[in-house]
Amino acid sequence: MRVFWDERQRRHAPVQELHNGGFVPFAEHIGRVDSMLAALGATHSVPDRGEAPLLRVHPGPYLDFLKSAFIDWKAAGRPGDAAGYVWPVIGRRALELDRIDARLGQYSMDASTPIAEGTWESAYWSAQTALAGLEALLAGDRAAFALCRPPGHHAGADYMGGYCYLNNAAVAAEAAWAAGLGRVAILDIDYHHGNGTQDIFGARGDVFFASVHADPRTDYPFFWGHGDEGGAGEGEGATLNLPLPRGTGIRDYEAALDKALEAIAAFGAGLLVCSFGADTFAGDPICAFALETADYAPVARRIASLGLPSLVVMEGGYAVDALGENVASFLRGF
């Protein structure tokens, strides 16, 4: 399976994040990529397809915000990386204010997603990497791996969150739709629920979203991903959430995964986008499932047995020393 990656995805390097009431080193750091590149070997280059495919998912004002936030932050005389401290609660007026602090709140959902100098450039190339993987499928590859970083599944159409700025999986799914590949299924197997992807496609009947993740009653992102969220309007029935308790190991995990795969098979998609996070690993420092390195190969084999052209998009995974081997195990299984 070809691996797609662009060096400009390294430019994003926030220093710290708010975690459990204090500041800690930013967990989604470039060491993750070094671990994956060491285990995966050669990568393929990523062409520039411009902003048009990003704009199929994200509104222009949100992209403008991502581009200018760090500059505006510095212009306001602030040290460090741009981070919000006030969030508009549901039902408040949707104002388009100029103040950088207001914009950081308007366009984000949490305090774990700072904007640093190279954030826009890395997020842009991360989304381009997803598009490059999709193009490999269009050219006839059965599967492709987009080594996206920063990750994407917590980013909604107009908000960042959970280390995510642009929703790489959604950008690829929309591009697949535009390319005439028909109905798309997105299977999200990051430890955390993919709230951004669900928000983007939840009202759509032509894109199926299935997610196996930690129960949001105990885990981030808390306010999405509960078992009763099944889509809205034309999208009713095209969202499937399968939350699992902390401590879940491979047996219960595979049972939930099989339910997701059955639903995807019944939906009748022409293409699969798999949001893959290796933060389900037993040794992950910020997560609490119990998958082992060797488990990722059979998990991937089950997914591959759908027989769909598959784009694997990288999401989370923070046990840096094991990350490369976990991803390699998954891709070998495919």
Interface ranges with Zn ion (CB under 5 A): 190-192, 277, 279, 316
Catalytic-residue membership of 154 = yes
Residues that bind ligand Q9C (CB under 6 A): 19-20, 112, 151, 154, 162-164, 190, 192, 220, 277, 279, 286, 315-316
Q: Which residue is nearest to ligand Q9C (CB)?
A: 316
The residue among 135 and 215 lying less far from Zn ion, judged by its C-beta, is 215
Binding partner of residue 19 among Zn ion, ligand Q9C, none, CB cut-off 5 to 8 Å per kind: ligand Q9C
The residue among 169 and 256 lying less far from ligand Q9C, judged by its C-beta, is 169
Strand-pair partners of 108: 160
Query: Out of 154, 192, 193, 213, which one is annotated catalytic?
Result: 154
- Distance in Å, CB of 164 to ligand Q9C, minimum: 6
- Distance in Å, CB of 189 to ligand Q9C, minimum: 11
Binding partner of residue 220 among ligand Q9C, Zn ion, none, CB cut-off 5 to 8 Å per kind: ligand Q9C
The residue among 286 and 297 lying less far from ligand Q9C, judged by its C-beta, is 286
The residue among 5 and 191 lying less far from Zn ion, judged by its C-beta, is 191
Strand-pair partners of 333: none
- Distance in Å, CB of 278 to Zn ion, minimum: 9
- Distance in Å, CB of 189 to Zn ion, minimum: 10
Which positions are catalytic?
A: 154
